[in-house]
Chains A and B, each alone.
Chain A
Amino acid sequence: MLNYMDTHLLSFLILLPLAGAFILLFIRDAGAVRRIALVFSLAELALCIPLVANFDTATAIMQFAESHEWIKAWDIYYKLGVDGISVLFVALTALLTVISIMVSWKAIQDRVREFMIAMLVLEAAMIGVFTALDLFLFYIFWEAMLIPMYLLIGVWGGPNRLYAAIKFFLYTLVGSVLMLIAIIAVYFAAGHTFDVLAIMNHKFSYTFQMWAFAAFFAAFAVKVPMFPVHTWLPDAHVEAPTAGSIILAGILIKMGAYGFLRFSLPFFPDATLAWTPAIMVLSVIAIIYGAYMAFAQTDFKKLIAYSSVSHMGFVTLGIFALNLQGMEGGILQMLNHGVSTGALFLAVGVIYERTHTRLIADYGGIAARVPVYATFLLVITLSSIGLPGTNGFIGEFTILLGAFLHSKPYAVIASLGIILGAGYMLWLYQRVAFGKITNPHNEHLADMNMREVVAALPLVALVFIIGLYPNAAFGIMHVSVANLIQHVNAKLQSAPEMTQMLSTVIGK
């Protein structure tokens, strides 16, 4: 039995939330729906414990792998597996889903059952995206995710939710369908296979790589979102319910960067090299532009949304630095961003439930009334800025190190983004928490209750755990990332001088 669990753990992780969603179909009482959804998400989190505990960090091969024939005529397999990169995101998904369900306890009163079903289906699809090792299967999860997310924004969102939901859907869909064509082309070019591991070992021609990379890029860049296709994100974030924002910022936008790492780089190494300068420039623009836009926002959520654009710019900067430091930093920054932005949206949700306004000007001086909340917000703000001792510092520092090794100007400009980040985040905190209470409605603001504190605690803990002991995360991903770089290196057909540079960097 235990052995069976081990070999099918990933399937269980995908099926458990679906089973929960199915059971919820028959439950009418809203209270019971919430409790059952929470139990299932907690069980999912518990299932992640053996996943992480039994994960062998010494090897880069896919673990907990399973493979079953699915659609024989098209050579499609139901193939799952995790390596040191994806295992982190599976765990993060499970954690953020629990938190999202907890913060929706009071906030969602309308159609609770449908909301929880959407959350659980979304969780299953997200886990599927991170564990799928068959391109077709991956695409199924990747697209299927759009349905619950569209509904989450559109049904339970803010006043402008219809516009935001359709914009989110169309942006992502257009990017994804181009990738679908590339997936089909890859299938034929690689000799009729959708198997990710087999495709990794196939050498594609240079022209093919350039086109296919561009098509995959269309899908992933929209998801990240990179400048200039980021415009759906502020709308979606602002209108989505708190839980939707947390999932969106915490997991969904990580999938773009994950896609670069899992598919774009190992499949198309030559195209990656050719595209790198353009992507680095776009990343730097995103960092500066996102930060700049964040300064101008009057809406709490929109400010965080633009800060996400900026932070994700760091992630892509790190990944396309194409060296160990950059990539590890990029991955860590993805986790960090999931934790700290998830927590920031949680913070907005908490205060929004009480005041029903997201305008920064409506706050001010609330630290005196809600000390626990103010402390929580401060910790998260500092983590987002990247104060040493918090997770943000490690991520940004490693990325800049990687970028510096790759090319100094990028690193210099990107570090300006950190300064800007400190600027808008501290200014935000000052306007919200300090000073005199300007809005009489805030005189009797209630502090965070037990449920909210419990939801926030794991995130705060992660801020410090990663900040003080980053090897907890680096240790898990290290071998896989090193293997990825080696793989890219070995497959390169062009640019020997670049290969030279890569190997010296790995050597360090």
Chain B
Amino acid sequence: MSILLQQFMQSLVPIYPEAVVITVALMVLLLDFFVDKDSKSLLGWFSLAGIVIAAFATFRLMGAGVSGSFFSGTFNLDPFSIFFKFVFFIACGLGILVSINYLKSQNIHRGEYYSLMLFATSGMMLMASAADLITLYLGLELMAMSIYILAGFMRHDNRSNEAAIKYLLLGAFSSGIMLYGMSLLYGITGTTNLSEILAFLRTADLNNPVIYLAMIMLVVSFGFKVAAVPFHMWVPDVYEGAPTPVTAFMSAGPKVAGFAVLLRVFLYSLEPLHAHSTAIISGLALLTMAVGNIMALSQTNIKRMLAYSSIAHAGYALVGLAAGGPEGAASVMLYVCIYALMNMGAFGVVIMLRKAGERGEEIADFAGLGKTNKTAAFLMLIFMFSLTGIPPTAGFIGKFYIFKSAVQSGLVWLAVAGVIFSSISAYFYLRVIMVMYMKEPKESIELTTSPSLALALAISVTAVIYIGVLPSELLDYARASITGIM
């Protein structure tokens, strides 16, 4: 019996990080009963500790060199998935840190919140590790369901409800399309295993139009998840309505998870179709960059502006995906990691400005921040320049790699379009800086600061500057992590 148990435990080793996250999520639900209303932040710190332990477990797995395919070829533990897991830990950790004080001030401090964030994170981890279409779908739904609820977490707020229902409906729609695409793929290849699909396609006759139909359906459904144009309609409303920390988390976590899946499916499983998928993805990338950046120009609400900006950034990452190859894959990985950091930072400053009322959501509310709160304004300045892609910030390094891999793959036109749109983006990012530094404060702004928020901002700003000046380590790590899908 004990030997069986031991074997069972042994077989669980590759999913230790996931197990930790899920266990902590369940414990948070239980502990919620025993923690009184005023000390819910303990649950936040507890969840954070869970994330740290999971990160440590992942680190140990990486160090021990455990890798390969597990659970009858449904679960991959490879450098590729581990890289993404670290990004998810960062997104979730920062997400928890920026939430703690916000939830308290909005009177929605409940244990489920942290638990849902952890469930969402475990879903993303599963997505990154998926070796089978079924695992992929499971992880995706686990993530999506949790986030539907999180988006509507301010249940007395109409906009939050609207956000949740919109996200749910469109999410369900895209899941349907995805399942249809997967079933077509299964129908042709006779397998749901990603490696076996690759093996089949390598030898198959690629003239079968159904393959392309399946591919297009997958592009469409993943396009929904990463908010690529023209499947982006839900983004502004959902981002605006959801509680700001959820928006921050949503703009980082699920989007990065979406790219993990896109990379694995399109650059690995469907690699034989690359010539065709590149054409579609290049078009999507161009549209996404164009619409995201141009629509962001006219926004007056900072959350909507950042929503369109996150669409635009998905566009840049798609450029890397279209470029393909090891360099393209590594550039997308580096980019989404940097993007998660700088976007979480920017949202962190937005959260600082939000008091019990509605303050801090209009760009005009930032007026004079450079005088009234120099630190907050300076942090926002760095995040805005980083999102624009001006050196020496991490945003530049990310974009540089994306465009470099695009040029390498001969997609010079796409790289040129990308840099043009990214110069257009300077206008709306700089407007925030302009309002902060060049306008007089209308009234005294009182910021909500807390140690957790300060910690989150300190982490993200340090990372943004550090990666901007010394990108080598992260870059080498990203390049070393593509082995799983190449």
Q: Which residues of A contact B (CB under 8 A)?
A: 70-74, 111, 136, 139-140, 143-144, 146-147, 150-151, 154-155, 161-162, 165-166, 169-170, 173-174, 177-178, 180-181, 184-185, 187-188
> Residues of A contacting B479 with CB < 8 Å?
73
| Residue among B390, B415, B471, B475 with max Cβ neighbours from chain A (10 Å) | B390
Q: A150-B430, A166-B434 are in contact. List 10 more A-B contacts (CB 8 A).
A: A71-B471, A73-B476, A111-B371, A140-B392, A144-B392, A155-B438, A174-B423, A180-B419, A185-B412, A188-B407
26 A-B pairs with C-beta separation under 8 A:
A71-B471, A71-B475, A73-B472, A136-B400, A139-B391, A140-B391, A140-B392, A144-B391, A144-B392, A147-B385, A147-B390, A154-B434, A154-B438, A162-B438, A165-B434, A166-B430, A170-B426, A173-B423, A174-B420, A177-B422, A177-B423, A181-B407, A181-B412, A181-B419, A184-B407, A187-B404
| Residue among B396, B401, B430, B471 with max Cβ neighbours from chain A (10 Å) | B430
Give the contacting residue for A180; candidates B403, B412, B427, B430; CB below 8 A.
B403
Nearest B residue (CB) for A176 = B423
Tell me the bound Cα distance from A252 to B438 in angstroms.
Answer: 23
Asked whether any CB of chain A lies closer than 8 Å to the CB of B416, the reply is yes
> Residues of A contacting B423 with CB < 8 Å?
170, 173-174, 177
| Residue among B401, B403, B426 with max Cβ neighbours from chain A (10 Å) | B426
Asked whether any CB of chain A lies closer than 8 Å to the CB of B67, the reply is no
Nearest B residue (CB) for A143 = B391
> Residues of A contacting B390 with CB < 8 Å?
143-144, 146-147
A174-B420, A177-B423, A188-B407 are known contacts. Are A143 and B396 too (CB-CB below 8 A)? yes
| Residue among B385, B422, B433 with max Cβ neighbours from chain A (10 Å) | B433
> Residues of B contacting A174 with CB < 8 Å?
420, 423
> Residues of B contacting A73 with CB < 8 Å?
472, 475-476, 479
Give the contacting residue for B437; candidates A143, A154, A184; CB below 8 A.
A154
Tell me the bound Cα distance from A136 to B472 in angstroms.
Answer: 14
Interface of A (DSSP majority class): helix
Nearest B residue (CB) for A137 = B391
Tell me the bound Cα distance from A73 to B474 in angstroms.
Answer: 11
Tell me the bound Cα distance from A181 to B392 in angstroms.
Answer: 18
> Residues of A contacting B430 with CB < 8 Å?
150, 166, 169
Asked whether any CB of chain A lies closer than 8 Å to the CB of B158, the reply is no
> Residues of B contacting A166 with CB < 8 Å?
427, 430, 434
Interface size class of B (residues with CB under 8 A): 20 to 34
Q: Which residues of B contact A (CB under 8 A)?
A: 370-371, 385, 390-392, 396, 400-401, 403-404, 407-408, 412, 415-416, 419-420, 422-423, 426-427, 430, 433-434, 437-438, 471-472, 475-476, 479
Q: How far is the CB of A125 from chain B (nearest CB, A)?
A: 9
State whether A177 touches B419 (Cβ < 8 A): yes
> Residues of A contacting B472 with CB < 8 Å?
70-73
Give the contacting residue for A184; candidates B404, B438, B471; CB below 8 A.
B404
A146-B390, A188-B408 are known contacts. Are A181 and B426 too (CB-CB below 8 A)? no
State whether B475 touches A169 (Cβ < 8 A): no
State whether A181 touches B415 (Cβ < 8 A): yes
> Residues of B contacting A154 with CB < 8 Å?
433-434, 437-438
> Residues of B contacting A151 with CB < 8 Å?
433, 437
Tell me the bound Cα distance from A185 to B471 in angstroms.
Answer: 21
State whether B434 touches A178 (Cβ < 8 A): no
> Residues of B contacting A71 with CB < 8 Å?
471-472, 475
Q: How far is the CB of B465 from chain A (nearest CB, A)?
A: 12
Tell me the bound Cα distance from A224 to B400 in angstroms.
Answer: 25
> Residues of A contacting B407 with CB < 8 Å?
181, 184-185, 188
Give the contacting residue for A155; candidates B420, B426, B427, B437; CB below 8 A.
B437
A73-B475, A144-B392 are known contacts. Are A170 and B412 too (CB-CB below 8 A)? no
> Residues of B contacting A170 with CB < 8 Å?
423, 426-427
Nearest A residue (CB) for B479 = A73
> Residues of A contacting B415 with CB < 8 Å?
181, 184
Tell me the bound Cα distance from A169 to B429 in angstroms.
Answer: 12
Q: How far is the CB of A377 from chain B (nearest CB, A)?
A: 32
Tell me the bound Cα distance from A210 to B470 in angstroms.
Answer: 34
> Residues of B contacting A144 with CB < 8 Å?
390-392
Give the contacting residue for B426; candidates A70, A72, A140, A169; CB below 8 A.
A169
Tell me the bound Cα distance from A143 to B407 in angstroms.
Answer: 20
> Residues of B contacting A146 with CB < 8 Å?
390
Give the contacting residue for B403; candidates A72, A143, A162, A181; CB below 8 A.
A181
> Residues of A contacting B401 with CB < 8 Å?
74
Q: How far is the CB of A141 from chain B (nearest CB, A)?
A: 8
Tell me the bound Cα distance from A73 to B415 in angstroms.
Answer: 20
Tell me the bound Cα distance from A415 to B484 in angstroms.
Answer: 67
> Residues of A contacting B404 with CB < 8 Å?
74, 184, 187
Which 6 A-B pairs have CB atoms at the shortest separation, nearest pair first?
A177-B419, A140-B391, A173-B423, A184-B407, A174-B423, A143-B391
Nearest B residue (CB) for A110 = B371
State whether B420 touches A72 (Cβ < 8 A): no
Tell me the bound Cα distance from A166 to B476 in angstroms.
Answer: 36
Tell me the bound Cα distance from A73 to B471 in angstroms.
Answer: 10
